[in-house]
Amino acid sequence: MTPKQAFAQALPALLLAPLLLSPAPAQGQADLMGRWDTLITLPFFPVHDHLLPNGKVMIWPGDGGISGDDPRLWDPATQSLSLLAKPGYDVFCSGHSFLADGRLFVAGGHIQNGVGLARSSLYDPIANAWIAAPNMNAGRWYPTVTTLANGDALVVSGSIDNTVGTNTLPQVYQAGSATWRNLSSAALGLDLYPMMFVAPNGRVVNVGPTPTTRALDTSGTGAWSLIGSSKFGHRSYGSAVMYAEGKILLVGGGDPPTNTAEVIDLTQPTPAWRNTAPMSIARRQLNATLLPDGTVLVTGGTFGPGFNNASTPAHPAELWNPATETWTTLASATVPRLYHSAALLLPDGRVLSTGGNGQPTPEAFSPPYLFKGTRPAMSGVPSALGYGQRFAVQTSDAASIRKVTLIRITSVTHAFNPNQRLNTLGFTATAGGLEIVAPASGNVAPPGHYLLFLVNGSGVPSVGSIVRLGTALPLTRKSR
C-alpha cells in the first residue's frame, strides 16, 4: 500500500476524529466502557516499564535530557516510588526481556541518537542489583530481546551508529553460561525494535514493522526462513501481540497511521496473514496489552501523519475480542500517549499507562470486567510450575470459572512488549477448586514468571497470581 492509498484509507477516520477523540468526561458506564484514573505524577516520563516478579513496576526514563541510568520502583497498591540500584550506564533505548529466573536481561543502550552501547546486564529484583554480562559484538540502540524456549535470550537489531546502521548479527545470550553465541549464519538487516515472537515450533518469528515475515532458527549459528508478507505494508510504530498460542495480532502503525489490523496463525501448515476488522481510529505509537480474559486492549497513539503528531492524539481505548475479531470502543484517557509511551497489565487487572514524551502523569485503565460483579478468588497457587504439570488451586468459585489464563509479565518500550504473551490453560473443577494443566513446553510459554488468572462466566478475572513456569531455580537474596 502506498502512503497515498494509506492516507485515503485513513481519511474517514480523520474526518470523524474531532467527534471521537476528545477526552470523554463521562465515566458513567464503567461496566461497558471501563474507567480511566489519573495517578500521582512521576518525576519523569518513563520510557521503559517492567512488571517485576514481585508485582511491582520498574520504570526508567530517557529522552528530553534525562539519562536512563535512573530506574525506580513503582508500587501499584500505594503509588509510592522508590529508588533502585542503577545499572551504571544509560539503558535508554535498550532492549529487554525477563529470563527464566526472573532477572531482567537488558541489552544495549544509548550513547547518542543512533549510536548504541554494546553492553548488556541483568537486573536481579530480589537483590536489587545489576550484574554485568559480557559485551555484545557491537552496539545496539533499539534492539529487541526475546526469551527463548530454553530460557536463553535472543538479541536482534539495534543501531550501531550512523555509518554502519543496524547490527545485522543476531546473538543468543546463554543464560546458563553467561556467554554469547553468535548466529553468524543469520546476519540480516532488521528494522529498529523489530517485533519478535517465539512460535510454537520454537523458532522466533519477525512480524514487523517490515512486512516481510521470517522465522529464525536459533540453533547453532542460526538460519532464517521466509514465511510471507503481512498485508498493510510497513507498520512503523505499530504494535503486535501473541494473543493465543501461535496467533499474532498486528495492528496500527505506518505513516500516515493505519487503523488496519491483521492476524496470522503460526500453527497452520502454511501460515498467512489475513485482515481482521480495523480499529475505529488509525494509530501509531500505540500500545497493545493482553488482558486476563483473552482480549487485547489498545491504548494511545496518534492518528495524524508524521512521526509523532502531537496534535492528533487518540484518546479512546479500544478492545479487540479474538473470538469475534471485532473492536469495541471504550473510555477515553485524558493524557495523550504518543512516542515513548508504554502500557502494561498489573496483577490486579488494571492497565498502567505511562509516559509519552513530556507526560510524567500516569493513568490506570480499569477495563469493564472490573465493574461486572464479584471477582473470583483463589488461593494455594503454587509458586512454581513445571511444563505440562497438573496443579491445583483452591477457589470457592470453581463452578463459575470459564477460563484460566497465563499472561507473561511485561517488559515494554517503544510501542512493543516483547515479553507479554497469553496461554489459555485446560482445567477441570474439583471439590473446592480447580485442577489446571500448565503449558506443555517452552515453545508455547518460554520459562519465566507469569500472571495466573481465573475468569468467570461474566468475564470477570481474579487478581493475578504470579507463578514461575519452567525449571529454573528461584532467585535468592544473594545476587549471582
Partner 1 sequence: MSRYSLGFGARQPWASLASLLALALCLVASPASAARYTVIDLATLDEGATVVVRGVNAGGTAVGGGRVGGARRGLLFTQAGLQAVDGVDGSDYSIVFDINDLGAVVGGSNAPSAARAFLRTRSGAARELAPLPGDTASTAFGINNHQQATGVSSGPGGERAVLWSADGSVAVLPGVAGQGSRARALNDRGDVVGAADDGAGLRAVVWRGGGPALQLGALPGRATSEAVAVNARGDIVGYSSDTTGARRATLWNAAGDIVDLGALPGGEFSQALGISNAGHIVGSSTSSLGSRACLWTPGEGLQDLNSLIAASSSVLTHATGINRAGVIVAFGHEAVSHDAQEEHGHDDTHELPVRVFLLVPSGARP
Decide whether 5 or 471 has the Cβ nearer to partner 1: 5
Decide whether 22 or 113 has the Cβ nearer to partner 1: 113
Decide whether 413 or 456 has the Cβ nearer to partner 1: 413
Decide whether 70 or 397 has the Cβ nearer to partner 1: 70
Residue 380: CB minimum distance to partner 1, A: 48
Decide whether 191 or 435 has the Cβ nearer to partner 1: 191
- Single residue of 27, 54, 128, 182 touching partner 1 by CB under 8 A: 182
* Burial letters 27-37, b for 16+ CB under 10 A, else e: eeebeebbbbe
Burial of 295 (0-12, 13-18, 19+ CB in 10 A): buried
Stretch 58-117 residues interacting with partner 1 (CB under 8 A): 62-67, 89-90, 92, 110-114, 117
Count residues contacting partner 1 (CB under 8 A)?
A: 64
Residue 265: CB minimum distance to partner 1, A: 22
467: phi > 0 → left, psi -120 to 50 → alpha, else beta; which? beta
Stretch 205-244 residues interacting with partner 1 (CB under 8 A): 210-212, 214, 220-221, 223-226, 233-234, 236-237
Residue 302: CB minimum distance to partner 1, A: 12
Burial of 477 (0-12, 13-18, 19+ CB in 10 A): exposed
Decide whether 26 or 226 has the Cβ nearer to partner 1: 226
- Single residue of 143, 254, 336, 367 touching partner 1 by CB under 8 A: 254
Residue 206: CB minimum distance to partner 1, A: 11
Residue 295: CB minimum distance to partner 1, A: 29
Decide whether 20 or 66 has the Cβ nearer to partner 1: 66
- Cell digits of residue 405: 489464563
Residue 210: CB minimum distance to partner 1, A: 6
Give the 3-state secondary structure of the chain: CCHHHHHHHHHHHHHHHHHHCCCCCCCCCHHHHCEEEECCCCCCCCCEEEECCCCCEEEECCCCCCCCCCCEEECCCCCCEEECCCCCCCCCCCEEEECCCCCEEEECCEEECCEEECCEEEEECCCCEEEEECCCCCCECCEEEEECCCCCEEEEECEEECCCEECCCCEEEECCCCEEEECCCCCCCCCCCCEEEECCCCCEEEEECCCEEEEEECCCCCEEEEEEECCCCCCCCCEEEEEECCEEEEECCCCCCECCEEEEECCCCCCCCEEECCCCCCEECCEEEECCCCCEEEECCECCCCCCCCCCECCEEEEEECCCCEEEEEEECCCCCCCCEEEEECCCCCEEEEECCCCCCCEEEECHHHHCCCCCCCECCCCEECCCCEEEEECCCHHHEEEEEEEECCEEECCECCCCCEEEECEEEECCEEEEECCCCCCCCCCEEEEEEEEECCCCECCCEEEEECCCCCCCCCCC
Residue 6: CB minimum distance to partner 1, A: 9
Tell me how far apart the alpha carbons of residues 387 and 469 are, in angstroms, rounded to a whole number: 7
Residue 386: CB minimum distance to partner 1, A: 35
Q: Phi and psi (nearest 5°) for 184? A: -75, -10
- Single residue of 36, 60, 105, 141 touching partner 1 by CB under 8 A: 141
Q: What x/- string results for residues 19 through 58 when contact with partner 1 is judged by CB under 8 A?
A: ----------------------------------------
All residues at 6 or more sequence positions from 19 whose CB lies less than 8 Å from its CB, including other chains: none
Q: What x/- string results for residues 409 through 448 when contact with partner 1 is judged by CB under 8 A?
A: ----------------------------------------
Stretch 303-332 residues interacting with partner 1 (CB under 8 A): 307-308
Q: Does 203 bind partner 1 (CB under 8 A)?
A: no
Q: Does 356 bind partner 1 (CB under 8 A)?
A: no
Residue 121: CB minimum distance to partner 1, A: 13
- Single residue of 17, 42, 59, 192 touching partner 1 by CB under 8 A: 192
Q: Does 139 bind partner 1 (CB under 8 A)?
A: yes
Q: Does 255 bind partner 1 (CB under 8 A)?
A: yes
Decide whether 169 or 438 has the Cβ nearer to partner 1: 169
Partners of 392 in the beta sheet? 435
Q: Does 5 bind partner 1 (CB under 8 A)?
A: no
Residue 97: CB minimum distance to partner 1, A: 21
Residue 1: CB minimum distance to partner 1, A: 9
Stretch 151-170 residues interacting with partner 1 (CB under 8 A): 159, 161-166, 168-169
Does residue 398 contact residue 430 with C-beta atoms inside 8 Å?
yes
**What residue ranges bind partner 1 (CB under 8 A)?**
2-3, 62-67, 89-90, 92, 110-114, 117-119, 135, 137-139, 141-142, 159, 161-166, 168-169, 182, 184-192, 210-212, 214, 220-221, 223-226, 233-234, 236-237, 254-255, 307-308, 339, 357
